[in-house]
Amino acid sequence: MREICASFDEIAGLRERNAIALKVAKDRGRKVVGTYCLFSPVELIVAAGAIPVSLCGTSATPIPAAEKVLPRSLCPLIKSSYGFALTDTCPFFHFSDLLLAETTCDGKKKMYELLGRMKPLHLMQLPQVQDEAALEYWVLELKRLTRRLEQAFDVQITPEKLAAAVLLLNEERRSLKALQDLLKRKPAPISGMDLLTVLHNRGFTVDKREAIGLIDRLTAELAGLSDNGFSPFTSRTPRILLTGVPVGIGSEKVVRLVEELGGSVVCFESCGAYKKVDPVLPGKDLLRSIAEKYLRVPCSCMSPNTGRLQLLEKLVQEFQADGVIDLTWQGCHTYNVESFTVKRHLQETVQVPFLQIETDYSESDTEQLKVRIEAFLEVIGTRRGGRP
Amino acid sequence: MVAAGIDIGSTGTKAVLFDGEIRASIVVPTGWDPKAAGLEAFRQALDCAGIAEGDVHSIVGTGYGRVSLPIFDRKVTEITCHARGAHFLHPETRSVIDIGGQDSKVISVDEHGRVAEFAMNDKCAAGTGRFLQVMAGVLDVSLEQLGQLAVGATPARISSMCAVFAESEVIGLLARGADKGSIAAGIFHSIAGRIQGLAGKVTLSHRVTFSGGVALNRELCSAIGASLGVDMCVPHAPQMVGALGAAIMGFEA
Ligand code: SF4
Ligand code: SF4
């Protein structure tokens, strides 16, 4: 990919370059807010003139340190996020002035209590149902966050600044959607591993406008390559939609195995990817529109979480997925339990082969995963009338 | 036309020659060199059937060691192979339970012997041949003896599914003077419970074939059959089912 596509190369180096850019920005007086989740209303951070950075832990490296405090059976994402903080090995955590967290799953919620001892942390009380009463409450929580940001950074979040932030972030979502939608082409112009690398590194950008430009350039370049028939795959390559828990570089094991074994991950329904592209819809009351957007996030900590089923059904069709893999981290009760509902729903509607994989960030089960994934690809192959 | 199926597992390596019928069926221990074991099983199968290597038109590899042999024309996972093999032996089969050395699988099969769905145990050894081996070791008996011990005994309660915890539980039971027979029966029940959990994840039919070397253990088969509420059909040589499926796929290709 790197050899033929200049923008890809540029994006692959973003994480390192941005750690430096972040320090420069801080030296110039900019404030940094670290977030852990898709529920964080980034518009407010941007409107407060601060830089939002994602601190979601996707690497196994800091997990042993975290396990000195947290139970081993906890979800690896939580352990990784906490471990980075504990060992102070993530520059983006290091430079954060404030952490923004939400009461999503139980593990994260309690981990945030511990994180709050290390750095100032603002906890938003997230309702776990998506109705009118919940929305009223969530609007109040957004107001409380507004006040906190205004006080902490001594700024005023004016309606104009908020409107500008909404525009900017919707623009970012537009560009990310366009990039991911390219993989609707058959065969996909870029591997799932490459897409994940781009999405992951983009999360560390300091200047959002620059990042949007970069993503748009990449999308255009890839579209051009694909028009000329370039693809790492063929039209027979099994197309896999990945749903479930967040994945990133460091926790990409399953994505890598699927593609090593001859599949193509064409869509990530997870929260760093397609779940993220849902925009703030214009409305009379901007704060309310923002609240609506975030409360809509179809995460398994919501009950019921029917939005995820609808989104999946739509994505399976749009991306012409031949199979769905539901990735769930060990210790993640919400996604593990919900997997049953997802499987049932997909069997009753779009009828694609479905595989749940429960694993963690370690490599110890690679051989077993290979058998599972390979057999799954064989099932897809025979369904399409290949050799039994 | 003759095809070979070679199943290189963690403990045993199996080879089958197939030309519409089974022409040879060989098991050798895998030992520390899966590659050598694969070649050895293949050679023995050729000798046994009196077939020259050059007459074999397709060699299909399966099992954990399938990546290690360059002679394979094709590699297929043991999940697909067990389904094919079981379907050949018992065409009415709609579910296959395979307990292997390192993992166990429940596979649901359609009327053509194709995999519809499958479930596999997660990381740990619970419900696998490994678990049985550890337990037999604690009781200081062989696997066959473990089966014989269990006949007619009232199963002792073993609540841990994890091999490590169950080991200390069994040691505790022994220390309290529990009867070896009931411990053996308890061990089988524990595995059956684990398989039942796995089977809950796929649609299980009433026509279940039990494959894999562990199925040689009649008592275990009946314990699992009883706990699932189905009649288990056990092929004459259950450990050969994967290699057979591989050979059939080579034959049909
Ligand atoms: S999966 Fe849910 S709780 Fe986890 S980061 Fe995504 S939105 Fe937040
Ligand atoms: S993966 Fe599950 S357990 Fe882990 S942080 Fe997300 S919702 Fe919580």
For residue B140, give every residue at least 6 positions away whose Cβ sits within 8 Å of its Cβ, in sequence order, or none: none
SS3 A101: strand
For chain B, percent of residues with pLDDT exceeding 90: 47
Position A388 confidence tier, pLDDT thresholds 50, 70, 90: very low
Same domain, B163 and B124: yes
Instruction: Indicate the top mutation candidate among A105, A330, A358 to test ligand 2's pocket, ranked by most ligand atoms within 8 A of CB.
Output: A105
Which pLDDT score is estimated for B11? 84
State whether the beta carbon of A187 lies less than 6 angstroms from ligand 1.
no
B52 or B201, greater pLDDT: B52
Distance CA B50, CA A108 (A): 65
Are both B124 and B201 inside the same structural domain? yes
A362 touches chain B (CB under 8 A): no
Mutate to test the interface with B, among A326, A355, A362, A382 (most CBs of B within 10 A): A382
**Separation of alpha carbons A230 and A352, rounded Å:** 27
Task: Say if CB A211 and CB A202 are below 8 A apart.
Answer: yes
B-chain residues near A359 (CB < 8 A): 123
The length of chain A is: 388
Residue nearest atom 5 of ligand 1, based on CA coordinates:
A37
Report the alpha-carbon distance of residue A369 to residue A284 in Å, rounded: 50
- Across-strand partners of A304? none
Task: For residues B100 and B214, state if they share a domain.
Answer: yes
Say if residue B83 is in the same domain as residue B166. no
Looking at residue B178, its amino acid is A
Per-residue pLDDT, averaged over B187-215, amounts to 83
| A367 reaches B (C-beta below 8 A) | yes
Q: Categorize the per-residue pLDDT at A101 as very low, low, confident or very high, splitting at 50, 70 and 90.
A: very high
pLDDT confidence of residue A206 = 87
Structure ipTM: 0.83
Peptide bond into A304 cis (omega under 30): yes
Whether the CB of A37 sits within 6 Å of ligand 1: yes
CA B78 to chain centre: 10
pLDDT surpasses 50 at B20: yes
CA distance B83 to B114: 6
Two structure tokens written together for B2: 């003759």
Query: For residue range B159-169, what is the model confidence (pLDDT) as tens digits?
Result: 776 767 778 88
Report pTM.
Answer: 0.90
Chain B residues in contact with A330 by the CB 8 A cut-off are 122
B33 lies in the same domain as B121: no
Range of the structural domain that residue B196 is part of: 92-234
Q: Do B115 and A382 touch (CB under 8 A)?
A: yes
B223 or B212: whose pLDDT is higher? B212
The residue written with tokens 């429960």 in the block is A358
Q: Are residues B121 and B181 in the same domain?
A: yes
Ligand 2 atom with the smallest distance to the CA of A335 is: 2
Q: How many domains, in total, are found in chain B?
A: 2
Q: How many angstroms separate the alpha carbon of residue A300 from the centre of ligand 1?
A: 8
- Atom 4 of ligand 1, nearest CA residue: A37
B207 with B217, same domain: the answer is yes
Q: What integer is the mean pLDDT of A211-220?
A: 95
Mean pLDDT, rounded, of chain A: 94
- How much is the pLDDT for A367? 86
Q: Which of residues 306-335 of A touch B (CB under 8 A)?
A: 330
A324-338: b or e for each residue (b if 16 or more CB lie within 10 Å)?
A: bbbbbbbbbebbbeb
- A358-361 CB contacts, 8 Å cutoff, 24+ apart: A358/A328, A358/A329, A358/A330, A358/B122, A359/A253, A359/A254, A359/A327, A359/A329, A359/A330, A359/B123, A360/A76, A360/A329, A360/A330, A360/A331, A361/A58, A361/A59, A361/A60, A361/A63, A361/A76, A361/A80, A361/A250, A361/A251, A361/A253
Regarding whether B134 and B34 lie in a shared domain, the answer is: no
Is residue B212 a contact partner of residue B99, using CB atoms and an 8 Å limit? yes
Which residue, chain included where needed, has tokens 């599972």? Answer: A372
* Ligand 2 probe mutation, A39, A77, A254, A327, most atoms within 8 A of CB: A77
Cα distance from B211 to chain A (closest Cα, Å)? 17
Among candidate residues B199, B191, B215, the one with its CA nearest the CA of residue B132: B191
| Chain A residues inside the 8 Å CB shell of B76 | 378
Check pLDDT > 80 for residue B121. Answer: no
pLDDT digits (tens, 9 = 90+) for A104-142: 999 999 999 999 999 999 999 999 999 999 999 999 999
State whether A379 and B116 contact (CB < 8 Å).
yes
Assess whether B61 and B97 both reside in one domain.
no
Task: Burial-class residue B179 by CB neighbours within 10 Å (0-12, 13-18, 19+).
Answer: middle
For residue A83, report the distance from its CA to the centre of ligand 1, in Å: 18
How far is it, in rounded angstroms, from Cα A276 to Cα A271?
Answer: 6
B76 and B124 housed in the same domain: no
Q: Which residues contact B148 (CB under 8 A, 6 or more apart)?
A: B219
My answer on whether omega of the bond before A76 falls inside 30° of 0, hence cis, is no
Determine contact: B112 vs chain A, CB below 8 A.
yes
Q: What is the mean pLDDT of residues B103-130?
A: 83
The domains of chain A, with CATH numbers, are 15-160 (3.40.50.11890)
Half-sphere exposure of A230 (CA within 13 A, CB side): 12
**Which among A79, A278, A301, A332 is the best mutation to test ligand 1's pocket, defined by most ligand atoms within 8 Å of the CB?**
A301
* Pairwise CA distance, residues A166 & A289, whole Å: 10
A216 contact B CB<8A: no
Burial environment of residue B210 by CB neighbours within 10 A (0 to 12, 13 to 18, 19 or more): buried
Distance from Cα A332 to the centre of ligand 2, integer Å: 5
A-chain residues near B80 (CB < 8 A): 375, 378-379, 382, 388
Which atom of ligand 1 is least distant from the CA of A38?
Answer: 7
Report the separation in Å between the CA atom of A105 and the middle of ligand 2, taken as the mean of its atom positions.
Answer: 6
User: Which member of A330, A371, A388 has the closest CB to residue B77?
Assistant: A371
Measure B94 CA to ligand 1 centroid, in angstroms.
Answer: 39
Residue owning tokens 């074991």: B37
Q: Alpha-carbon distance A291 to B10, whole Å?
A: 55
Q: Are residues B28 and B47 in the same domain?
A: yes
Q: Do A368 and B120 touch (CB under 8 A)?
A: yes
Q: Which residues of A touch B249 (CB under 8 A)?
A: 387-388
DSSP string of A209-230, one letter each residue: HHHHHHHHHHHHHHHHHHHTT-
Q: Which of B102, B69, B107 is nearest to B203 (CA)?
A: B107
Q: Is A299 in the pocket of ligand 1 (CB under 6 A)?
A: yes
- Angle (CA) A203-A124-A174 rounded to 5° is 35
Cβ–Cβ gap A368/B123 under 8 Å? yes
Same domain, B50 and B143: no
The CATH number covering residue B189 comes to: 3.30.420.40
**For A3-51, what is each residue's pLDDT tens digit?**
667 888 888 777 778 888 899 999 999 999 999 999 999 999 999 999 9
Task: Kindly determine whether residue B80 and residue A388, on different chains, have CB atoms separated by under 8 Å.
Answer: yes
The β-bridge relationship of strands B95-99 and B104-109 is antiparallel
How far apart, in whole angstroms, are the C-alpha atoms of residue A88 and residue A244? 28
Contact assignment for A371 to B76 by CB distance below 8 Å:
no
